[in-house]
Structure 1
Amino acid sequence: MLKPFNILKQFGGVGKSQDATDLLSEDLVLVEQRVEPAKKAAQVIHKKLTSCLQSQQGLDTEKRMKKLPLMMLSVSMAESFKDFDAESSIRKVLEMCCFMQNFLAQTLADFEMKLEKDVLEPLNKLSEDDLPEILKNKKQFAKFTTDWNNARTKSQTSTGPQAKQDGLREEVEEAWRKLEAIKDQYSADLYHFATKEDEYANYFIRLLELQAEYHRVSHEFLAKNITEIKESQSQTECQVGVSAGKVYGTSLCSHLESCGQEIALPIRECVNMLLRTGLREEGLFRLAAAASVVKKLKSSLDSGTVDHSEFYTDPHAVAGALKSYLRELPEPLMTSELYNDWFKAAGEKELEDKLEQLRAILKKLPQENYNNLRYASLHLHVISFI
C-alpha cells in the first residue's frame, strides 16, 4: 500500500489537480505545441496545392497529358496549320509552336507526377494518418490524466471504512498504470515527431526544387526554340523580293540588317515605279492620292509582295507611300543630330560655301543613311528634270 502513498506525495496533496502538460518534460511540451499547427499546415497546403494541378491525380503521364490545356492547345495548332500551304510562314511557326506546346505539356505532366509522389502524398499521410494518431493519443493522455486526478481526489477526501479507502487506493493505482502507459506512448510519439520535423519541412523544400526544375527545363527549351524560329523566319523573309517583317515605322538600320539589303525596300520599290510611270506626272509629290490606295501599297511593301502593275496607274499613291515611309522613320534619314548643320548649310548664300558644308555633313551621316539618301536623291533628281 506504499505505492499509492508515494504517488500522492509526488504529485501533491489534497485539492491539487495535475494537468496533462504538467506530466511532460519541458522539451516535450514545446514539441507538443507544434503538432496541431503542423497538421493544419499540411491539410491546408495539400488542399491548395492540389487545386493548382492542371491534370487529374493518379493517372499515368500519357493520360495526364490528354487532359492538360497545353496539350489541347497543341492539338488545336496541329489542326489549324493544315489549312495553310507548305510555304506559309504562319504554317511553319504553328508547326513549331505545336511541337513546343506538346513538349511543355509533357514537362508539366512529369512535374505534376513528381509533385504528387514527393509532396502531395507525404503531406496527405502526415495530415490524415501520422499526426492524427499523435493527437488521438494526446486526447487519451488528457482523459487518463483527468481520470487519475478524479480517482486521486476521491481517495484523498475519503473518510469511510479502511476497506473502502483501500479500494479507492487501488483505483488510483489502476488509473495511474493506464496514465503511465499512455504517457509513455504519447511521449514516444512526440519524440518521433521531433526527430522527423526536419523531414516534414523538407516536403516544402522539395516543392520548390520541383518548381525550379520545371521552370528551368521549360525556359531553356523555349529560349532555344524561339531563337531557332526567329532565325528560320529571318532566313525565309530575307529572300530576294521579300520584306523581313514590318517596314514602316522600323528603324532604317534594323530593316536593312533584317533583309540584307543596302537600300530600304520602300525607297527602292517606289523609286523604280516612279521612274517607269511618274516621269511626266504633274504635281507628283504635291497632289495627294486616295488614302485607301496608299494604305494598300504600304501594306504590300510591309509584306514584301508588291505587284507593280497594280499601282502603275496611280503614281501619286506611289509618291505618297514613299513620303509616308520617310515621315515614319523613327530617326529621320538626314538624322536629327545633324539638323542644325543642314539648316545652317541651307542658309549659305554662296553656292561654293553651301556645297562645301553639304559635303562635310554628308560625311558625318551613318553609312546606311548616306546610301539611301544618295539613292533617293539621284533618282528623284532624274524625275524632277523630265
Structure 2
Amino acid sequence: MMKRQLHRMRQLAQTGSLGRTPETAEFLGEDLLQVEQRLEPAKRAAHNVHKRLQACLQGQSGADMDKRVKKLPLMALSTTMAESFKELDPDSSMGKALEMSCAIQNQLARILAEFEMTLERDVLQPLSRLSEEELPAILKHKKSLQKLVSDWNTLKSRLSQATKNSGSSQGLGGGPGSHSHTTMANKVEMLKEEEEELKRKVEQCRDEYLADLYHFVTKEDSYANYFIHLLEIQADYHRRSLSSLDTALAELRENHSQADHSPSMAATHFSRVYGVSLATHLHELGREIALPIEACVMMLLSEGMKEEGLFRLAAGASVLKRLKQTMASDPHSLEEFCSDPHAVAGALKSYLRELPEPLMTFDLYDDWMRAASLKEPGARLQALQEVCSRLPPENLSNLRYLMKFLARLAEEQEVNKMTPSNIAIVLGPNLLWPPEKEGDQAQLDAASVSSIQVVGVVEALIQSADTLFPGDINFNVSGLFSAVILQDTVSDRLASEELPPTAVPTPATTPAPAPAPVPAPALASAATKERTESEVPPRPASPKVTRSPPETAAPVEDMARRSTGSLAAAVETASGRQALVVGKPSPYMFECITENFSIDPAHTLMVGDRLETDILFGHRCGMTTVLTLTGVSRLEEAQAYLAAGQHDLVPHYYVESIADLTEGLED
C-alpha cells in the first residue's frame, strides 16, 4: 500500500514539473499533448475574466431592460437633474443646459443598459459555460482516464507478480494437481479477467478523452472570438455614446451661443475679465488698457481721490462681487458704484491679484529685486528703467497707466493719507509676487503680509512715475467713461459755485454724492438755485466699513500710533485654538518649547513691533518674522537696515496692523 502511494506521489510530481501526465501521455501524440497543456490555463482565464467582467456591470445582472435602467447611476443622475431644472427658469441658460443634460444622461443610461445586456448574452454567458461546463467536462474525462490507467498499470503489476509466483510454486515441487497450484492458477485467471475488463474501460475512456481534445481544438478559435466580440461590443457602446454626446453638445452650444448675446446672459463674460491673462483679455476685447484698470481708475478719479485710507479698507464682499460682475457684463452701468470708492479700489486690487501672472511678470521678478536693492538713487532709478523696458508691451502700457494714476493719488496724501509708501504696502503684493516653487512652505496671504523688497520696488515706481513713464496720459483711453468725467466736472463746478468752503472730509463726514448725469440745460438751471451746506445730504458710509476709524500705515507727526493689542487674542481668533502663554520669550525657552511640542522653528511666527528685539530674536531662533507697523519701529528703519546689509534686523514680512495679520492667518 505504501509503495502504491509513493508511486502515485512520484507521478504527480512528474506531472507538475513536465506539464503533462504519464498516464495519458502514452495515448497522445505530440500535438494533442500541447492541446492538453492548454486546457487548465484556458479554464482559469475564462473563469477570471468572467468574474472581473461581471464586476464591471453597473446594472442588475439578469434583469430586463426597465429594471436594469432604473438601477443605473446614470439614471439616478438624470432623475436628479430632472427634479432640479424644474425649480429653474426654463428660459435661463442654466435651465436649458440642465434640461438637455438630463435628457442625454437618460439616453446614455439606456445605451449602457443595452450594452450590458448584449455583453451578458454574447460574452459573459459563453465564458461561464466554457469555464463551468465545457472545459471541466474535458478535465473530468482526463482525470478519469488517469485513474483508470493508474489502476490498469497496478493490476498488470499484480498479474505479473502472480504469474511469477505460480511458476515458483511449480518449481518447488507442487504438482499440477496440488491445492496450492490450483489456488494460484485460479488467482492468475481472475487477475487476467480483471485486467481485460479494465483495459476495455481504459480504451473507452481514452476514446472519449481524445474526442474531447479534438472538439476543443475545433472550438478554440470560437473561444477566442468571445474576447474579440467583447471589444466589438465595447467599441459599439462607446461610438453610440459619443454620437449621442456630440449631437447633444452641438445643440447645446448652438443654443448657448444664441443666448449668449441676450442681456440675461451678459454675466457669462465674467470669466473673460477676471482670472485670465492680460494678453488674452486685451486681445479678446480689443483694448489697450485692461477694462478693470481703466474703469476703476476713472471712477476713483471721479469720486475717490480724497477718500482717506483708499485701497486700505476692505470692501463689502457682496458689493465687490456685484461690481466685478457688472464690470464684466455691462461696463456702461458702473455709475452706481462711483459713490463707493473702497469697493472700486477692491475691484482693482482683485483684478491685479487674480491675474495668472503678475502685471510686473514672473520672469523679471529677480531683476526687480536686484534693482530695488541698489543703494544709490541714480543707479536704482536707471536699473528700474531698464527692467521696465524689458516688460512685454501690454504689461508696460498697463503698468504706466496704473503708476501715473497712483502718482496722482499720492499728490492728495495730505487728505487721503496715502503716501507712495502706503500705496506700495497695499498694492505692491498685487503687482508682483514670486513664482511658486515645489517644496515652498505655505506663506501668509500676500495681500495682507507684504514683502519689503516688493514694496520698495512699487514705491520707487510711484515716486519716479514721471521719470520712468514720461509724457502726459489720457486716462479715458477707450472713451467709454465720458459720463463719469462729465459727472465729475459738473460736481466740482456745483461745489465750487454754490457750497461754502468746508473742512477736509473724513470718513464720518463725507461729501455728498454727485448728481446723476442729466442734460446740460438742466444742470445749468440747477446751478442757479440757492443751496446751503445743510441742504446737501451727507453721503452714507460705505457698507463694507465695519472697523473703527482707519489707522495710517505711516502716521504723520501729530498722530500717535495705536497699540498692537493682544497678539495672543489675535492668534486665538485666527487659529480657533486657545493660546498657551509662556512668558517673555528667550532662546532657551523657545528651544524648550520646540523640543516639548516637536515644533519646527520654520513653521512658527515671531510677530512684534521692534526690529532690534522681536525681529532679531525671531531670526536668531530660525522663525519667520512679521513686523507690525502700529508699534515702535517704522518701515523706513527696516529699509535702512536692508540697505546696510543687516538682514537679522529686517523682517520677512510686515503688516499695517494686527487686523491685517489676522486676515492673513485665516486665509
TM > 0.5: yes
Alpha-carbon contact 2:74-2:108 (below 8 Å) kept: yes
**Other-structure match for 2:76:** 72
More deviation in 218-227 or 109-118? 218-227
Query: Is the contact between residue 294 and residue 320 of structure 1 (CA under 8 Å) also seen in structure 2?
Result: no
Pick one of 89, 92, 105 that aligns with 1:88.
92
Measured in 2, the distance between the counterparts of 1:220 and 1:302 equals 39
- SS for the counterpart of 1:104 is helix
User: What runs of 5+ residues in structure 1 fail to find an aligned partner?
Assistant: 1-17, 341-360
SS in 2 for 1:244: helix
2: CA distance, partners of 1:330 / 1:128: 60
1:39-60 superposed Cα distances (whole Å, 9 cap, x missing partner): 2222222122111111112223
| 1:30 has 2:48 as partner | no
Q: How does 1:48-67 map to 2 (within 5 A)?
A: 48-67=52-71
Instruction: Answer 1 or 2: which has greater helix percent.
Output: 1
CA distance in 2, matches of 1:89, 1:264: 28
Q: In 2, are the aligned partners of 1:248 and 1:302 still within 8 Å (CA)?
A: no
The 2-side partners of 1:62 and 1:294 are apart by 51
**Contact 1:293–1:317 (Cα < 8 Å) also in 2:** no
Which of 90, 110, 128 is matched with 1:124 structurally? 128
1:131 shift after superposition: 1.0
SS in 2 for 1:295: helix
Query: Structure 1 length as normaliser, TM-score?
Result: 0.73
Give the alignment partner of residue 276 of structure 2, picking from 224, 232, 250.
250
Aligned residue in 2 for 1:40:
44
2:234 pairs with one of 211, 215, 221? 211
Instruction: Tell me the equivalent position of 1:321.
Output: 347
Structure 2 CA distance, aligned partners of 1:286 and 1:173? 110
Matches of 1:333 and 1:37 in 2, distance apart? Answer: 65
Could you tell me how far apart the structure 1 residues matched to 2:297 and 2:233 are?
A: 60
1:78 Cα shift?
0.6
* 211 and 23 in structure 1: CA distance in 2 versus 1, 3 angstrom threshold: same
* 1:70 alignment partner AA: L
In structure 2, what is the Cα distance between the partners aligned to 1:337 and 1:110?
55
% same residue: 49
Cα shift at 1:75: 0.5
How has the CA–CA distance of structure 1 residues 370 and 216 changed in structure 2, closer, same or farther, with 3 Å as cutoff? farther
Q: Which residue identity does 1:117 align to in structure 2?
A: R
Q: What is the deviation of 1:308?
A: 4.6
TM-superposed deviation, 1:268:
7.1
Q: 1:149 to 1:216 in 2, by over 3 A?
A: same
- Counterpart residue number, 2:201: 178
- Residue 189 of structure 1 is matched in structure 2 by 212
1:301 alignment partner in structure 2: 326
Contact 1:137 1:186 in 2 (8 A): yes
Give the counterpart letter for 2:351 in structure 1: Y
Residue 231 and residue 283 in structure 1: after superposition, are their counterparts in 2 closer, same or farther (change >3 A)? farther
Aligned-residue CA RMSD (Å): 4.3
Instruction: State the TM-score, normalized to the length of structure 2.
Output: 0.45
Q: Which runs of 5+ in 2 are unaligned?
A: 1-21, 167-180, 368-388, 406-472, 478-484, 493-667
Shift of 1:130: 0.7
Q: Distance in 2 between matches of 1:334 and 1:154?
A: 101
Cα drift, residue 190 of structure 1: 0.9
Q: Which moved more, 1:173-182 or 1:246-255?
A: 246-255
| Contact 1:237–1:245 under 8 Å retained in 2 | no
| Deviation sequence 1:9-31 (CA, Å, 0-9, x none) | xxxxxxxxx72332322222221
The question of whether the paired residues in 1 share the 8 Å contact of 2:77 and 2:105 is answered with: yes
Question: Distance between the aligned counterparts of 1:337 and 1:20, measured in 2?
Answer: 78
Structure exhibiting the larger radius of gyration computed from Cα positions: 2
The CA distance in 1 between the partners of 2:77 and 2:352, in whole Å, is 41
CA distance 1:221–1:274, change in 2 (3 Å): farther
Does residue 149 (structure 1) correspond to residue 149 (structure 2)? The answer is: no
Out of 249-258 and 182-191, give the one that drifted further.
249-258
| 1:104 equivalenced with 2:108 (yes/no) | yes
Comparing 31-40 with 147-156, greater Cα deviation is found at: 147-156
In structure 2, the residue matched to 1:346 is none
> Matched residues in 1 for 2:292 and 2:86: separation?
33
Report the residue type matching 2:130 in the other structure. L
Instruction: Please give the residue correspondences for 1:265-280 in structure 2 after superposition, counting only pairs within 5 Å.
Output: 266=292, 270=296, 278=303
Paired residues of 1:281 and 1:315 also in contact (CA < 8 A) = no
Please say which of residues 230-239 and 76-85 is displaced more in the overlay. Answer: 230-239
CA distance in 1, matches of 2:337, 2:93: 26
Stretch moving more, 93-102 or 232-241: 232-241
CA contact (8 A) 2:60 2:68 kept: yes
Task: State how far apart, in whole Å, the 1-side matches of 2:210 and 2:101 are.
Answer: 58
Larger mean CA deviation between 206-215 and 284-293 belongs to 284-293
